[in-house]
């Protein structure tokens, strides 16, 4: 018998444990479970990334829309005339524009507390008084904290 044949015989004589097949199947299942978890985590990360990108795009559109409203009187006038966007355009316009042409008058005004008061019934004096009380009480608390610290 040659050396190679002896080595083959020794290889064939190796006893394989009966539980080896079960152990291999367990490890395969464990690996598949880990891969599924990684896939789920990867999907949620991609979803969050897409949502974050969409939110950034929406914020950029809002900033550009506000900038366009406040830099172009023509754009502000036209946007104020649109059915749904007109209300938003009037709120985001920091300037007032008035135009009259061919018996059509367009007026875009800065929203004020008076306008809000007409819609809600809350008076401007009540709002100002509430603001005054809040600022006064917070200032007093801050002074007391400073006084106690000394």
Give me the mean pLDDT over the 94-119 stretch: 63
Residues 120 and 101 grouped into a single domain: no
- Which position has the higher pLDDT, 125 or 111? 125
Residues 141 and 84 grouped into a single domain: no
pLDDT digits (tens, 9 = 90+) for 23-34: 889 999 999 988
Q: Domain residues for 140?
A: 113-150
CA–CA distance, 18 with 23 (Å, rounded to integer): 10
Residues 144 and 71 grouped into a single domain: no
Using alpha carbons, list the distances in angstroms from residue 11 to 2, 18, 125, 130.
14, 17, 97, 91
Q: Which helix (H) or strand (E) holds 65?
A: helix 20-71
Show Cβ contacts of residue 122 under 8 Å, excluding neighbours closer than 6 positions. 116
């Amino acid at each position: 018998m040659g050396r190679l044949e002896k080595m083959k015989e020794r290889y064939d004589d190796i006893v394989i444990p009966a539980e080896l097949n079960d152990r291999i199947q367990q490890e395969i299942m464990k690996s598949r479970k880990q891969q599924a978890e990684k896939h789920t985590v990867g999907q949620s990360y991609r979803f969050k990334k897409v949502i974050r990108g969409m939110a950034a795009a929406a914020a950029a559109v809002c900033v550009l829309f506000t900038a366009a409203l406040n830099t172009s009187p023509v754009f502000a006038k036209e946007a104020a005339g649109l059915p749904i966007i007109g209300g938003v355009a009037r709120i985001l316009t920091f300037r007032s524009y008035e135009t009259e042409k061919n018996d059509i008058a367009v007026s875009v005004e800065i929203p004020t507390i008076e306008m809000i008061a007409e819609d809600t019934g809350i008076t401007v004096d009540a709002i100002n008084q509430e603001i005054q009380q809040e600022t006064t009480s917070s200032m007093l608390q801050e002074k007391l904290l400073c006084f106690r610290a000394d």
